Amino acid sequence: MAKVILTPTQTPTLFLEAENITPDVFAGKNAAEIAALHGFVGKTTVTLGDYFTVEGAGGQTAADTTVVINGDVSRVKYIGMKMSAGELIVNGNADMYVGGWMTGGRLTVNGDIEAFAGLGMTGGELIVNGNAGNYLGAAYRGDWRGMQGGEIRVSGNAGSDVGTFMRGGTIVVGGNIDVHVGTHMEGGTIIVKGDAKSRVGGQMVKGTIYVYGDIDVMMPGFQYRNDADLEVDGDNGRFALYEGDMGERHPKRKGEVIYGQLYMKY
Amino acid sequence: MAKIVTDVVCPFCGTLCDDLEVALSDDGEEILEVYNACAIGAAKFLHSQAKDRLTRPRMKQEDGSWKEVTYDEAADYTANLLVDAKKPLMYGWSSTNCTAQSTGSEIGEEVGACMDNTATVCHGSTLIAVQDVGVPSATLGEIANRADRVVFWGCNPAHAHPRHMSRYSIYPRGFFTGKGSKSRKMIVVDPRNTDTAKMADVHVQLEQGRDYELLSAIRVAIRGEKLPDVVAGIPKEQIYEIADTLKSGRFTAIFFGMGVTHSLGKNHNIDIAIMVTRDLNDYTKAAIVAMRGHYNVTGSGQVWGWEFGFPFCLDLTRGFARYNPGDSSSNDLLIRDEVDAVFVLGSDPGAHFPVGSVKKIAKLPSVCIDPHITPTSAVSKLHVPVAFVGVEVGGCAYRMDNVPIETRKVVEPPEGMLTDDEFLQLVLTRVRELKGAA
């Protein structure tokens, strides 16, 4: 597998918008061609070479290209946006829109990321060994389609509005989560291994949320159904099943109303 | 005998009262009194008459003192600031007319600016919610004539929109509301016992920051589903009763303000309030209206809506409009050091923004275009006083229910003073010269 190594040489004075940092764009290009790819700082057009040293070259296709960023890119937006295959590894913190609208491949961040990561994502894996910000796997403003497929795995905490308008795929948060989890959710799975604050599953239509820790304030539209012994993401445990949101519309399948499911671990 | 100008439109809040009368001196040059207006509106007219008012632009010197400059020098400084910056922020736009807003958009497009209006710290969350789920709304005239259930949620019109209740929502005797306030049931939802809450038939004193839960509970109650015993500090019996009251009316109007748009959850609170309104339409007619603050913040959203497709938080840096509050919103841009110049017109972020943002404005090249001396003008490098829109120059403004109303000119501005639009035209011409030369 061909490897491209980017090493940051300077911190952007404002923010660098670098949606070209993906295996898809790097595929078939040598180091010089990659360094000449454009990015934006405000209204000025810059090149990746202005901010990174580039080593190696892309493979023939995205699938056989690995991109490694060695260093802090916490002032760089859109890393791995719309990537469809291959691998991207960030050894450092990254800013907003990491893996936004990604459709495949594997994106790993060994550090913290900011808001809007995995926005509207439809496939692939987004792994964050650190904390994530708000709107993880959510929908872009005004879109009714949040995350639709793939997997997001965050080892630390996540912010608010995780999985808003989510329709498929899986989000696993190892730590705690802020308010508004799976708001307007229409499918998919969210697993929170720590505590949640409030507004879990508000306006939820379908889909499943697991919370291992506590929820400070439950939504009033969730009703207790039964207890169940389950294996969730490799963990066994006894869960209480709540269904809701009773205030929201719900579809019928084979004559039965389908609700959103919220499992709370004992 | 004073000369009376009638049907004057008040350029203060989003209620945009259009029945003011202004008494002028015999020569028609000075405003003596303002009739029909609330205390805030009258003060705005009379404040324009202040003898110590600034009438020329002034530039801050290195020692902190101010030096008077000409409008041409001010336009040159402003144009250079905007052209030189990689990512200028052009904020405000809510206390001016639509013509000036439109000229401002032309400048923003030329210089690739981030443009934002006061909705960003006000009803921007409402605009996000409306984009997410739509909105069943009505004009204030329709509400005055029809509404028999009026809800004020997280707003205090008795102080913030003083004539709202007398003109539109509670007291007017309309076509189907002939008994005025007696034909209406007034519900106020507010954790505080405000002066509006004291007037209500029902005051729902919920726990602070639990609006989303209570609105959700009302949706559950409307559908006749089971509720927990207490939600947001309100017993379930009262929640079922509120749901019945709202369903049983002929026309329910919900008004909401900062108490929900900028408390925990923000756009989600409005999102679910809109869904309550939609649910109520299964039983009766219901509408929801935002209590917009500045008299033409709605117009700013309208102008940008038709010019760029988005009502606030515009990022034009790449030559096309992008929009994502949280990324392209003024406070995020300032706090994260994403902008390198600040232009403010028709708003006072110095008073409204968190101190962290204001400190950033103070450090950056900045210009403030405002008739008044404000906390923003105090931290800006250049202050350009202009004529008062709605007092010294007319122009279109949009009321909180999105109805456009043409404001009126009542008196002449002090000699030699420019209007917002005239100054912006100077800046636009200079920007085009600079860009042509580059």
Amino acid at B431: V
Interface of A with B (CB under 8 A): 13-15, 40-44, 77, 96, 115-116, 134-135, 140-142, 144, 165, 179-180, 183-184, 198-199, 202-203, 217-221, 223, 245-248
Residue B359: CB partners within 8 Å, gap ≥ 6? none
> Which is nearest to A173 in space by CA: A209, A222, A218, A122?
A209
Residue B343: CB partners within 8 Å, gap ≥ 6? B78, B81, B82, B88, B89, B90, B91, B113, B366, B367, B369
User: pTM for the complete prediction?
Assistant: 0.96
Min distance B142 CA to chain A CA atoms (Å): 28
Residue B306: CB partners within 8 Å, gap ≥ 6? none
pLDDT tens digits along B134-161: 999 999 999 999 999 999 999 999 999 9
Q: How far is residue A163's CA from residue A192's CA, in Å, rounded to a whole number?
A: 12
CATH superfamily of B124-290: Dimethylsulfoxide Reductase, domain 2 (3.40.228.10)
Residue numbers of B between 207 and 266 with CB closer than 8 Å to A: 210, 212-213, 216-220, 222-223, 225-228, 231, 264-265
Alpha carbon of B420 to those of B81, B114, B118: distances in Å?
18, 19, 17
Q: What is the dihedral of CA A63, A173, B133, B212, to 10 degrees?
A: -170
Alpha carbon of B145 to those of B19, B90, B181, B183: distances in Å?
18, 40, 12, 11
Q: How far is residue B19's CA from residue B5's CA, in Å, rounded to a whole number?
A: 10
At B264 the pLDDT is: 95
The arithmetic mean of pLDDT across residues B54-60, rounded, is 97
At A103 the pLDDT is: 98
- Give bridge partners of residue A206 from the DSSP assignment: A186
At B344 the pLDDT is: 98
pLDDT tens digits along B337-384: 999 999 999 999 999 999 999 999 999 999 999 999 999 999 999 999
pLDDT by 10s per residue, chain A, length 266: 899 999 999 999 999 999 999 999 999 999 999 999 999 999 999 999 999 999 999 999 999 999 999 999 999 999 999 999 999 999 999 999 999 999 999 999 999 999 999 999 999 999 999 999 999 999 999 999 999 999 999 999 999 999 999 999 999 999 999 999 999 999 999 999 999 999 999 999 999 999 999 999 999 999 999 999 999 999 999 999 999 999 999 999 999 999 999 999 99
pLDDT tens digits along B292-303: 999 999 999 999
Percentage of chain B lying above the pLDDT 90 cut: 98
Q: Inter-chain contact A219–B213, Cβ cutoff 8 Å?
A: yes
| Cis preceding linkage at B348, omega within 30 | no
Min distance B168 CA to chain A CA atoms (Å): 31
Predicted ipTM of the assembly: 0.95
Q: Is the pLDDT of residue B276 over 90?
A: yes
> Which is nearest to B24 in space by CA: B33, B12, B16, B37?
B33
- Architecture per CATH, B58-120+295-437: 3-Layer(aba) Sandwich (3.40)
Burial of B214 (0-12, 13-18, 19+ CB in 10 A): buried
Q: Is the pLDDT of residue B87 over 70?
A: yes
Q: Inter-chain contact B86–A14, Cβ cutoff 8 Å?
A: yes
Give the one of A115, A135, A203 whose C-beta lies nearest to B272's C-beta. A203
Q: How far is residue B325's CA from residue B327's CA, in Å, rounded to a whole number?
A: 5
Query: Which residue in chain B is spatially nearest to A246 when comparing CA positions?
Result: B220
Mean pLDDT, chain B, whole residue set: 96
At B431 the pLDDT is: 97
Burial of A253 (0-12, 13-18, 19+ CB in 10 A): exposed
Q: Inter-chain contact A13–B340, Cβ cutoff 8 Å?
A: yes
> Which is nearest to B219 in space by CA: A205, A55, A107, A174?
A205
At B16 the pLDDT is: 96
pLDDT tens digits along B402-420: 999 999 999 999 999 999 9
B85 part of contact set with chain A, CB < 8 Å? yes
Contacts of A165 in chain B (CB under 8 A): 132
Q: Inter-chain contact B216–A15, Cβ cutoff 8 Å?
A: no
Question: H or E segment at B351?
Answer: helix B349-352
The arithmetic mean of pLDDT across residues B312-337, rounded, is 96
Q: Is the pLDDT of residue B437 over 90?
A: no
> Which is nearest to B12 in space by CA: B422, B399, B430, B302?
B399
pLDDT band at B1 (very low <50, low <70, confident <90, very high): low
Q: Is the pLDDT of residue B261 over 80?
A: yes
Q: Is the pLDDT of residue B335 over 80?
A: yes
Q: How far is residue B368's CA from residue B378's CA, in Å, rounded to a whole number?
A: 9
Q: Inter-chain contact B226–A245, Cβ cutoff 8 Å?
A: no
CB A251 within 8 A of CB A258: yes
Q: How far is residue A116's CA from residue A152's CA, in Å, rounded to a whole number?
A: 12
B132 part of contact set with chain A, CB < 8 Å? yes
Q: Is the pLDDT of residue B438 over 60?
A: no
Percentage of chain B lying above the pLDDT 70 cut: 99
